[in-house]
Amino acid sequence: LVVISIITLLMGIALPALKMACKSARTTQCASNLKNIGTIWAIYCDQNPNTMPKAVSLPSPIHATPPDEISIIDALRPYMNSQTTAIYECPDDELGYYVNRHSSYEYLPGLAITFDPDNIPKLVALSRRSPQSLPVLTDAAKFHPAPNNVDPRQTVYHDTHV
């Protein structure tokens, strides 16, 4: 009986720690995915200086992407070694963004777009902004818990840091 009590006590201590370790591993995998996408992004930028891909922010599960627009996945696909889109799935995406939209991440081109007098969007030269302050992709939702109500979204920036 004492042995069973000790085993139960140890399991009670170990299970929450194991649960936290699994959550931490999923968060780390998500950050790793964003880092890999950031590397692909850097290759795109090397071959297309000072521009961002013209792509939709987050593919819609309901509406078809307009024929003149593509998803960020398709825009970066030519720069990937593998054609798999698994890096676009955050393991903590329990809301179904990846299943429904093929990406757990949202593309943020809006911070590098201005409008000319005719209200036509134009890409701002990326060299005008400091690369470490220009976000490229972020979690599509608040997948990761954060203390003190801080926005828990992970983001990859133009200089590829997460």
Q: Give the per-residue pLDDT at 68.
A: 65
Residue 97 backbone dihedrals phi, psi, to 5 degrees? -60, -45
The domain limits of the chain are 2-157
Query: Longest C-alpha distance within the chain, in Å?
Result: 81
Q: Give the per-residue pLDDT at 16.
A: 84
Residue 106 backbone dihedrals phi, psi, to 5 degrees? -105, 130
pLDDT tens track, the chain, 162 positions: 788 888 888 888 888 888 888 888 888 888 899 899 888 888 888 888 767 777 776 655 555 556 667 778 888 889 888 777 788 888 888 777 676 777 788 887 765 555 555 555 555 555 555 667 777 777 777 655 555 555 567 888 878 888
Q: Give the per-residue pLDDT at 143.
A: 59
Q: Give the per-residue pLDDT at 116.
A: 55
Cite the beta strand spans of 97-161 per DSSP E: 105-107, 113-115, 121-123, 135-139, 155-157
Q: Give the per-residue pLDDT at 135.
A: 77
